Chains A and B, each alone.
Chain A
Amino acid sequence: SQLAEENLWALSVHEGESVTVNCSYKTSITALQWYRQKSGEGPAQLILIRSNEREKRNGRLRATLDTSSQSSSLSITATRCEDTAVYFCATDFTGANTGKLTFGHGTILRVHP
């Protein structure tokens, strides 16, 4: 099956450092979403980046999309302990207007004081 997949299972940084989570996929897409899931909560969308956008920002977050290499990255600058969460990339491979997203396995990010 075709999945949006994050490349690393876990990352650990200290507060204030920057970190990047990567995601690769195996077929053409029109958009990719990044979600964050904190412990005990449901996922929440951070950024939706479309195939005609190379970069999109949301505060300390920056997403990139490279359609030629079929990869995306989510960077967080000046990390805080509250950024500790699982980060997922997700996309709709069906093209059938159902909103049916395929999620990657997630990357666990721990931010230490």
Chain B
Amino acid sequence: GGIITQTPKFLIGQEGQKLTLKCQQNFNHDTMYWYRQDSGKGLRLIYYSITENDLQKGDLSEGYDASREKKSSFSLTVTSAQKNEMAVFLCASSILGYQDTQYFGPGTRLLVL
């Protein structure tokens, strides 16, 4: 088995601030994903990466940057935090393949004051 670790668990930021969220996986999976989850809603894909140094935009990439530094890690940056923003950011990984199972981390909870 493996595990996905997300840091930090909670993140409180100020309006306009640049905030970075980190994700590590030890599954040795090729593909990694960042999703945003708003209260009571489904998951929306922000960025994904099918291999080291690859980046693909999801449906919600505006306002975010991402970086796949190595196979095991995938970072997400909120380029300018929006006032009163509150969401959970979920990282996932999968073996590259169609209709693959995705394994999720516990999430980073963001609150912008």
Residues of A within 8 A of B (CB): 1, 3, 30-31, 33, 40-45, 48, 50, 88, 91-92, 95-106
Contacts and interface: CB of A to CB of B under 8 A. Distances in A.
B2 interface: no
10 contacts: A1-B59, A42-B104, A50-B99, A88-B43, A97-B96, A97-B98, A101-B45, A101-B102, A105-B41, A105-B42
A9 B45 CA distance: 21
Interface of B: 4, 31, 33, 35, 41-43, 45, 48, 50, 56, 58-59, 90-92, 94, 96-107
Given A31-B99, A42-B107, A99 B31 contact: yes
A92 B101 contact: no
Given A42-B104, A99-B99, 17 more contacts: A3-B42, A30-B98, A30-B99, A31-B99, A40-B107, A43-B104, A44-B104, A48-B99, A92-B98, A98-B31, A98-B50, A98-B96, A99-B31, A100-B48, A101-B102, A103-B43, A105-B42
Nearest to A49: B99
A102 B44 CA distance: 8
